[in-house]
C-alpha cells in the first residue's frame, strides 16, 4: 500500500517537528494493519527566510522516527516554497486478506482509542503562547509515539475495523467508520481521554479553525443530549499523529486491553457499535 502526508510545523524545534511529521506519515499504514518498509521525504522549504540548518534538523528528526519504525528512507524531493511543510510518502506491506479496513465494524463491537485527544488545541495554544511547558511536552510525547505496537496488537486480536484519528478529529473519523459499515457508533463522552490541560485551553478559546470546520460538517451526523455542549469540542479537534480507533468483538477487546496493559500500550474503551440508528454517531 502507498500513502503520503504533509504537515506544517506544530512546534518550534525543527528536529521535533521532523519526528512528529514522520510519525504522522507512517500512521496510515499502521491503521490498515500493514508494516511500513520504505519512505520518501517530501519537503517544501522557504530557503530565502530560513537557514539550511533548519532543514537539516527537520530531516534528521524524520530519519530518527523512521529508524525507530524500521523504515528505510529511499529518497525524496524538495521544493522551494513560501511556507515550510514536511512529510513523507510511505510504502507498506500487508497480505490482502489481512488488511484492516475502516468500513467493516460490526454491531456488538467494542471501540478502543489508543491515544488521548487534544494536539490541535495544544498546537493552537503554542502559537498563542498559552501552553505551558508541561502541556507541550506531553503533546509532543504523544505525537512522536508510533502506532506500531498498538497496530501489531490489534492485528493479533483480529480487529474488525480501524482508522487513525487525524485531521477530521475523533468524531469525523468515527463517522466515516460508521458510514462505511452502515452502523452507528455510540461514544461514551466521559470515557474519551484528553491530554492534560486541554479542557482549560478549550475554556480559554484555544481552538483551531479545523475544529470548527469539523463540527460544522459532522455535527448533523450526531445524536445525543450533548450536541451543543462545549465538552464535545475536543472530539472535533483535528489531530496530528493521533491514535488508532479500533473496533473489536467483545472477547477480542478484552484480550486487547489485557495485553495492552501488560505491554504498556495506552488504550481506553470509549464506546461500542450498534446497528444503524437514526444517526451515525450517538453520545448518550
DSSP 61-118: HHHHHHHHHT-EEEEEEEEE-SS-EEEEEEEEE--GGG---SS---TTPEEEESS-B-
As averages over each run of 10 residues, the pLDDT of the chain (284 residues) reads 96 97 98 98 95 97 98 96 97 97 98 98 96 97 98 98 98 98 97 97 96 96 80 96 98 98 98 97 94
* Model pLDDT, residue 230: 86
* Model pLDDT, residue 229: 80
**Residue 146 CB: number of other CB atoms within 10 A?**
18
Sign of the torsion angle spanned by Cα atoms 176, 181, 184, 190 = negative
Q: What is the dihedral of CA 64, 163, 251, 153, to 10 degrees?
A: -20
User: Contact 151/115 with Cβ under 8 angstroms?
Assistant: no
* Model pLDDT, residue 69: 98
Q: What is the pTM of this model?
A: 0.96
* Model pLDDT, residue 219: 94
| 3-class DSSP state of 37 | strand
What number of CA atoms fall less than 13 Å from residue 188's CA on the CB side?
13
**Residue 72 CB: number of other CB atoms within 10 A?**
12
Beta-sheet strands, E only, within the chain: 2-7, 35-45, 72-80, 85-93, 110-113, 161-164, 183-187, 222-224, 244-248, 268-275, 281-283
d(CA 211, CA 234): 8
d(CA 243, CA 147): 7
Q: Measured in whole angstroms, how far is the alpha carbon of residue 283 from the centre of its chain?
A: 21
Amino acid at each position: 500500500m502507498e500513502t503520503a502526508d504533509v504537515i506544517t510545523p506544530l512546534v518550534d524545534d525543527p528536529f521535533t517537528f521532523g519526528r512528529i511529521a514522520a510519525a504522522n506519515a507512517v500512521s496510515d499504514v499502521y491503521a490498515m494493519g500493514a508494516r511500513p518498509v520504505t519512505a520518501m521525504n517530501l519537503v517544501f522549504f522557504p530557503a530565502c527566510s530560513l537557514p539550511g540548518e533548519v532543514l537539516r534538523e527537520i530531516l534528521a528528526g524524520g530519519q530518527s522516527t523512521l529508524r525507530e519504525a524500521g523504515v528505510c528512507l529511499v529518497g525524496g524531493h524538495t521544493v522551494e516554497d513560501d511556507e515550510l511543510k514536511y512529510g513523507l510518502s510511505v510504502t507498506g506491506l500487508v497480505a490482502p486478506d489481512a488488511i484492516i479496513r475502516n468500513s467493516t465494524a460490526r454491531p456488538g463491537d467494542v471501540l478502543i482509542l489508543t491515544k488521548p485527544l487534544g494536539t490541535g488545541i495544544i498546537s493552537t495554544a503554542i502559537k498563542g503562547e498559552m501552553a505551558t511547558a508541561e502541556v507541550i511536552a506531553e503533546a509532543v510525547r504523544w505525537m512522536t509515539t508510533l502506532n506500531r505496537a498498538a497496530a501489531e496488537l490489534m492485528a493479533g486480536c483480529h480487529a474488525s475495523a480501524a482508522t487513525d484519528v487525524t485531521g477530521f478529529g475523533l468524531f469525523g473519523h468515527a463517522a466515516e467508520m460508521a458510514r462505511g459499515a452502515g452502523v452507528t457508533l455510540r461514544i461514551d463522552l466521559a470515557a474519551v481521554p484528553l491530554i492534560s490541560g486541554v479542557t482549560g485551553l478549550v475554556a480559554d478559546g484555544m481552538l483551531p479553525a479545523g475544529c470548527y470546520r469539523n463540527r460544522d460538517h459532522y455535527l448533523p451526523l450526531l445524536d445525543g443530549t450533548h450536541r451543543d455542549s462545549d465538552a464535545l469540542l475536543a472530539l472535533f479537534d483535528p489531530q496530528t499523529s493521533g491514535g488508532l480507533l479500533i473496533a473489536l468483538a467483545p472477547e477480542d477487546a478484552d484480550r486487547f486491553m489485557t495485553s495492552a496493559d501488560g505491554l504498556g500500550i495506552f488504550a481506553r474503551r470509549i464506546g461500542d457499535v450498534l446497528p444503524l440508528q437514526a444517526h451515525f454517531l450517538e453520545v448518550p
